[in-house]
Structure formats: C-alpha cells, structure tokens
A and B are shown apart, each in its own frame.
Chain A
C-alpha cells in the first residue's frame, strides 16, 4: 500500500551545518505522528520539506507518490497544510475566505467550516485581520477540515494559542480524526497536548538520527530515576558528573543522565534492575534503594529523552 509520506535517505544542510545525513521515515495511513525534538534538530526543516517548500539536497521525500516539492494539483488537493502562526489571507472576511478556498476544492465541506466559524460568534462579514490568534486558529482549522484532506500537516499549531483555544483546536481535530482514515504529521511546543491524539512519536536527534515508536509504548517503556547526591560516595561524583555531561558508558541501557544541585537523574528504556546494573558496572557503588523512580508525564519523559540542553 502506498504510504502517504515516505522519506528515504534524506539529506539536507544549511551551508556547513548538516541537518540530516540519511534520514528515512515511513508515515502510515490513518495514524497521527508527532515530530518531537529539541530546537535545532530539524523539525521545521522536515516539515518544510514534507510541505514541499524546501527541496532537500539529497534523498527523497514523497507525498502520495509525488516528490514533495513538485506535487501535482490533484495530490495537493489531498493535503491540508497548517502553517505556523495560523497563516491565512487576513484581508478577507470570514465569508470571503470560505468562498475563495471553496472554489479550489471539489470535495469542499462547507458545513465543517461553518461549524467551527460559528463557535466564534462573529458575523461572516468580520475581517480576519481583526481577529485574535485563537479565533484565527479556528478559521484556519475550519478551512483545512473543509478541504477534507487525507493528509494533514500541522506546523506548530499551538503557537500563540491560550489554553482554551488550544483545547478547542485539539478537540475539534481529535473529533475529525476519529474515523481513523486520516494521516497527520504535527509539531507543537506543547508536548502535553500530544497525549490526547498522537499515535506515533518521532524523535529527531541532532545530526539526523531518529526514533519512531508508538507514543503509548514510549510512555510505558521510558522511565526515569533519581539518585540523591547525599546517597552516593563523594569519590564517585566526578564519574556521575561526566555521565551527566553526555559521556554515558558505551553499550549501556541509559539514554540520558542529568545533573542537578541535589541529585542526578537517569533515563532509560529499561527496568530499575538494568539501570542499577549499568551504574554499578560503570564503577558507581549504589546502596540499596538509592535509585528512586521519577513520576514522568509526557513532557518530563520528552525532556528526559532529549535532554535539557
């Protein structure tokens, strides 16, 4: 079966700064993908490449079989884009923008647009330029859903939205995706929201590495532990600091270690027993019960996985 988006051996750089060297990703139909990663790992670049507004230096990115940067109009009809900051034609009124967009899409579902626009309680003659960011986000989402796209690409949909509008946006989107027929690729600065509707998390790492896994699996398997400074031998502190600065023991199950004023934190896709074993093997004698499990919400886990710096 054809993948809605297929990224193969993608290579891109800005001057000498390499973003990806050999990135390959498969996006399957009916799933919601959250692109995660720290600033500068290439989330926006990947979104731009998939959106077709940046031609990669090498490899390929295909959307419904077409090169992403050269989509045929018929393919573009199947793709809904939401640009950062909810860009739209702000010189139009609500009614005008709906008329304009509907003239391009044969499968236009007017009722979907008006269902969202009506929530705002604004007259159809209201100019988009005079709307708040939150109100505009509803209009943009309405325009996108009315297109009835099979693939939705949302570039940081949460930017500029307060908690109420963010929730409204996510709830409408989740409702739309309930039939399981649509593929979504999204980025957001608000990780917690992803918990509500993202199926697969794609973690991008600096230099082009990536990890794709079901979000539920990530939340289930990824764990963190704290180790109080007071509970370890003072001689081992330099070793722990070295681990926290990124020098994890080779082949260890640890993904990340962080240093705090009063404690160290360790993160891994492993059990307590395995982490204890790893630390002991690295020369850190651990008293019984020194490693205390950390309660992790999605954002904690994300930070734990990618690191704070």
Chain B
C-alpha cells in the first residue's frame, strides 16, 4: 500500500505543480499585503488605539483572510480533479491494479496534505505578523479565529471534490449543499476566537466526509445505471 500512495503522490505532484505554485505565490502575496495593511494601521493611528480596537472592541485586522482558504480549497480541487474528469481520464486510475478505496483516499490525502501545508504557512505568517505588532494574547486569538477558516478550506476542498466526481446531478447538488452547510458555520462572523471550542466537533466530521467521498467515486465507476 505505501508504494501506491507514493506513486499517486508522484502523479499528483506533476499534475498539480502549476496549481501549487500559483496558490503558494498567491497566498504569499496575500499575506504580504495583509502585513502591509496591518502596518498601515499603526502608521495611521497610535498603537494604543489599534490595540484597543483589536483587544477590546474585537475588530480583527486580518478579516480579509476569511474566505481565502475556502477559495484555495476549491481552486486546488479543480487543479487536481478537472484534468481527471476531462475525457474521463479518471478511468485510467480506476483501472490500476489496486483497491479503489486506497486509490481515491491517496488522491484525497495528497490534496489535504498540500492544503494543510499551505494553511500552516499562512498561519505561520499570521503568527509572525501578529507577534510583530500585538501582545501574545492577540497572537493566540488570531490563531483561534482563523483556525475555523482553514478548516472550512479543507471542507470546501472535499465538497468540491464530491461535486466533481459525482456523475448524478442530484447528488452533486447535495454535495454542494453539504459544502455550504459545513463551511457556513465556520465562516460566519462571530466574536474573535469564539468558534475555537467547537473545532474538535467539526474535525470529527472530516474522516466521515473523506470516507463518504468513496461513494461518488463508486457512482462514477458504475455511472449511467439510473
């Protein structure tokens, strides 16, 4: 089984390298812009005022980051699965002599690994930026506030995958609704860090969704039976 995972990772790397470079570059630019934006706050106002807004009023200067992970999840999914769906190339992979669950889960593992790394880099950049301008409490709060957004990015990736793999329009719509239903609570505007206690519960859904994605793959294999 490990050699299957290695081989699939090899294939996925060559397929998605352009997408990975674009996403890494785009995110780096975005985080750079965020740093400049936060720096500008301190140039325009006294630090005490900025701190007061952030620490006491709960205004978060990194709000533009909210939807970025979800957008990245969808874009990466397209880079990974659209080439497979074009001319039904996924059939080549599905005929490889290995168990279908291992094959599909390896693809998903690759996507989740890359996105987790991307989001970890974003979180690291956010820590560095926050650490440069705010007290440690604000750094912790920044991580607690953005963690649900990163999780929404992973869910967006999985639900987008469901929509791309699923051949039946109704089930595709269901995948879309599921994606909306999972991402909306994580992206909703609440008090900074207030969603942090719910994260373990949201994380528990992840393995279920990953395993559930075997079903669209199975539908894809046996399609046009309805």
Contacts and interface: CB of A to CB of B under 8 A. Distances in A.
Interface in A39-68: 51-55, 57
A32 interface: no
A171 B177 CA distance: 53
B113 interface: no
B87 A54 contact: no
B7 interface: yes
Given A54-B222, A69-B221, A76 B95 contact: yes
A155 B95 CA distance: 15
Interface in A82-116: 83, 85, 87-89, 91-92, 96, 99-100, 103-105
Given A88-B92, A91-B14, A100-B7, A14 B224 contact: yes
B11 to A, nearest CB: 6
Contacts of B91: 51, 53, 81, 83, 87
A251 interface: no
Q: A interface, by DSSP: helix, strand, loop or mixed? A: loop
Interface residues of B, number: 25
Q: Which of B10, B88, B92 has the most CB of A within 10 A?
A: B92
A54 B224 contact: yes
Contacts of A53: 88, 91, 94, 221-223
B97 A105 contact: yes
A89 B15 contact: yes
Interface string B75-105: 0000000010001110110111111000000
Interface in A1-49: 14
A73 interface: yes
Contacts of A69: 221-222
Contacts of B11: 89, 92, 100
A53 B94 CA distance: 9
A91 B10 contact: no
A12 B94 CA distance: 22
B97 A76 contact: yes
A96 B7 contact: no
B3 interface: yes
Contact of B92 (A73, A89, A96): A89
B112 to A, nearest CB: 21
B94 to A, nearest CB: 8
A301 interface: no
Interface string B192-226: 00000000000000000000000000000111110
B85 to A, nearest CB: 12
Q: Which 7 A-B pairs have the closest CB atoms?
A: A55-B222, A77-B97, A73-B97, A103-B7, A76-B97, A91-B15, A55-B225
Given A53-B223, A76-B97, A83-B91, 9 more contacts: A51-B95, A54-B222, A55-B225, A73-B97, A74-B97, A81-B92, A89-B92, A92-B11, A96-B14
